[in-house]
Amino acid sequence: MQTQSRQQRLAALRDIIADIERKPALAGMQARPFGADGEGFPRLPGGLLQEVFTDAVRNGGTSLAFALGQAKALLTPRRLAVLYLQLDKDAQFFGLPYGPGLSSFGFDPAQLVLVRAADMQDLFWVAEEALACRAVAGIVADIGGAPEALDFTISRRLSLRTVESGTSLFLLRYGTERQASAAHLRWHLMPQRSGRKAFDDRAPGAARWSLKLEKGNAGQHKSEWILEWTGNAFKSLPNWIGIAAQSPSGTPVSLSASALLANPISQAG
């Protein structure tokens, strides 16, 4: 009897803690979907610490796009800049955000400030400093590997600051390992085969990703999406597209190349 009441009390305490952790950020959140149907990807409010995991550095374009896509929705006339943080030495390994590429993605490069820090300590200092500024819409930080500086303490600290400030902080992480963290949301992002490009079946079309919510609550019962970037917003696609694309029966381009040789004009395109 005693043990049961104790367990009940423990459960109640856990609920309270969960409430404390979740509420300040997500309490006032309305799940306004991007798409027309209610199943779409929710438009997440600011003030969230989000970890975006991808499996390898080669997916860096994907995770940067996902973070910038969300940050773009957070830009307002009062919050008019997004910060991108990276370590000095990582520029070649990860690649730097590229102005014309940002424009063709749909993000105005003038609104992105790049900060190159010398070490992780500096990087987190910059993040905190930027969170204190009320004109920053979002912060995107590239974090390679599992640095020692990013422990539970600092992530808890950052998550409290994000809630306070209303600015979203996106930590782009790489690898399959997960450490304890106080992030509000943790995503697992995978690239998917691109959509169809009009008039050219062999060319990559609109970018598609599969997205899985590993931690936290985005205000919907759903936790897996297939997203397509339309140049302005995320479009949620039905799940079967991802399954179909995952099957290994893709025809390599080169097979049709011999047929194309007969038609030099189409090849030049």
Restricting to residues 46-105, name those near other proteins by CB under 8 A: 58-62, 64-66, 68, 77-81, 88, 91-92, 94-105
Find how far residue 49's CA is from the centre of its chain: 11
The DSSP secondary-structure symbol of 250 reads P
Question: What is the H or E stretch that residue 20 is in?
Answer: helix 2-26
Q: Which of residues 173-212 bind other proteins (CB under 8 A)?
A: 190-194, 197, 200, 202-204, 207-209
Q: Which of residues 133-162 bind other proteins (CB under 8 A)?
A: 133-136
- What is the C-alpha separation between 140 and 173, in angstroms, rounded? 11
Q: How far is CA 233 from CA 73, 106, 164, 241, in A?
A: 8, 9, 26, 19
Q: Per CB under 8 A, does 239 bind other proteins?
A: no
Number of residues that bind other proteins (CB under 8 A): 75
- What is the C-alpha separation between 262 and 266, in angstroms, rounded? 9
Q: Per CB under 8 A, does 169 bind other proteins?
A: no
Interface with other proteins by CB under 8 A: which range of 12-20, 22-30, 38-46, 124-132? 124-132
Interface with other proteins by CB under 8 A: which range of 14-22, 43-51, 160-168, 252-260? 252-260
The DSSP secondary-structure symbol of 57 reads G
Q: Per CB under 8 A, does 3 bind other proteins?
A: no
Q: Per CB under 8 A, does 224 bind other proteins?
A: no
